[in-house]
Structure 1
Amino acid sequence: MDLLLNKSFMLEFWSPIWISLKVSIISGIVVIILGTLAGRLFARKSFKGKAILETILMLPMVLPPTVIGFFLIFIFGNNSIAGQAIQWIFKQPIIFTWWAAVIASIVVAFPLMYQSAKAGFQEVNPDIEEAARLDGANEWKVFLYISVPLASKALISGSILSFARALGEFGATLMFAGNIPGETQNISTAIYIAIDSGNMVMAWLWVISIVIISFMMLLIVRTKHS
């Protein structure tokens, strides 16, 4: 009990949890927007190269996290065009920063949101959308007031699953954002370091915390599908 009330202990305990939640929320918002738009596009449109592009979008789901981290370093590293542009605009590199953790989480979580959104929009009856167009609704209104509400169950499930994926991200974040306590150290990297250093009390507390959070999110998904 005295340990739990210790101020430095509580700071060490809550810091990775707060960083994980903050990164997951911001990356989740981006993923929900991009995944929903991409899911709608690929569910309704056919174009040349669609299969190849869709395969590229889904690659983070099957690639090892270290490979994703490698590509992120290659794309946003200090010697890349994007990396140099970021340094010129923000006066600092993005690698090993809090925003690098956000980017890594977006990349690994996007396929889950995209897959759920696409499946949801494919279940929407095109005749209903066409009826709305005949009544004078433009494409934006059809999407916002017809397609999204009818696919809402899949969109909610995808949002929760992508948030959970971002929350548990480890490999790509460790390579691209590093493990800086109070800055980029999330729950997953904190658990790894705690076990490596023999701090099993802290490791167990973080494990229990992320299990509870993940369980609640998956329970919500199961409830939505029941």
Structure 2
Amino acid sequence: MTRAPRRARPPLAVIVLATLGLVLLVGPLVAIIVRAPWGRMLDLLSRESAVHALGISLGTAAAATGLSLLLGVPLALLLARGADERLGLGHRIVRSLVTVPVVLPPVVGGVALVALLGEGGLVSGPIAAVLGAAPPTSAGAVVLAQTFVAMPFLVFAIEGALRGADRRFDLVAATLGLPPGRRLLRVTLPLIAPGIAAGAALSFARALGEYGATVTFATSIPGVTQTLPMAIYAELAAGDRDAAIALSLVLIAVSVVVLVGFRDRWLPGVVR
């Protein structure tokens, strides 16, 4: 029986550079864990400002995830169908536009939202002229900013699940005379439910950690629009590094839970 050849050892330069890259990515996380004020953690996280920021973050991130599901699932269905039917240039343009918020600097996304929905904006301006008032700064503005940056993650996760799903179930349902709407609800969506869950989790984590677009569009008002990332920056500006580290650990914990829990969905080929 022939033994499989062993893989050649990577060159030393590759090992050294890869190690440096790993240190650059993991080092800051290790440092924040080591430097965390574990003895004061409960006291720091129970401050009124921290509790308010955490509540606003969880509430707005959940709302943004719900809005992303409401709008993103249909969008993912259309994108997946367009890819299957090879609709060409129009489909590629739409998909590129959906990708833009992922690569756009967050503060630019906030400026774009201001231009559309802020005071004198393209949409809010005419509305304000009719109603006689500009749109107020509120948690709703936070939700819109978070949805803008988070929904693409959900769309791409669901689109990938749709394109990888076994279409034979849908074909059998169509053969049996099930109308398109019922096929969607009873066959397609249950089939891709794990992909939807993974996309929703990634969307929630991205919304929870959003800062640039949110602070630009919704501003940072303690108890109203100040989310955890804004509170972290405020604590750093005030010189309270321990409080900033404690709040940062909350966001890190959420990110780790999401990535570990859904690793098989966002990283193909990972073995349990």
TM-score after normalising by structure 2: 0.76
Instruction: For structure 1, list consecutive stretches of 5 or more residues without a partner in the other structure.
Output: none
Following TM superposition, the consecutive aligned residue runs of length 4 or more in structure 1 with deviations greater than 6 angstroms are 88-91
For the residues of structure 1 that align with 2:199 and 2:157, how far apart are their CA atoms?
5
Q: In structure 1, what is the Cα distance between the partners aligned to 2:224 and 2:159?
A: 35
Name the residue aligned to 1:34. 71
| CA deviation after TM superposition for structure 1 residue 125, in Å | 2.4
Deviations 1:28-47 (A, max 9, x none): 01102222111111112344
**2: CA distance between counterparts of 1:216 and 1:111?**
20
Partner of 1:120: 161
Counterpart for residue 136 of structure 1: 177
Aligned-partner Cα distance in 1 for 2:115–2:184: 36
Partner of residue 67 from structure 1, selected from 85, 108, 113: 108
Is the CA contact 1:95–1:176 (under 8 Å) kept in the aligned structure 2? no
Aligned-residue identity in percent: 27
Q: CA RMSD in A?
A: 2.4
User: Which residue, 55, 58, 70 being the options, matches 1:18?
Assistant: 55
Give the counterpart of 2:245 among 204, 207, 213: 204
Residue 47 of structure 2: SS of its match in structure 1?
Answer: helix
Tell me the residue number matched to 2:10.
none
In structure 1, distance between residues paired with 2:57 and 2:97 = 26
2:43 and 2:130 mapped to 1: Cα distance? 43
Q: Does the C-alpha gap of structure 1 residues 111 and 3 become closer, same or farther in structure 2, counting only changes over 3 Å?
A: closer
Q: 1:171 to 1:2 in 2, by over 3 A?
A: closer
* Structure with bigger gyration radius: 2
Count of residues in correspondence between the two structures? 225
Q: Deviations over 1:142-180 (max 9, x none)?
A: 111111121122111111001000000000001000010
Structure 2 segments unaligned to the other structure (5+ residues) = 1-38
Matched AA of 2:243:
M
3-state DSSP of counterpart to 2:221: coil
Distance 1:105-1:202 versus aligned 2 partners, 3 A rule: same
Q: Provide the rounded CA distance (Å) in 2 between the counterparts of 1:92 and 1:14.
A: 32
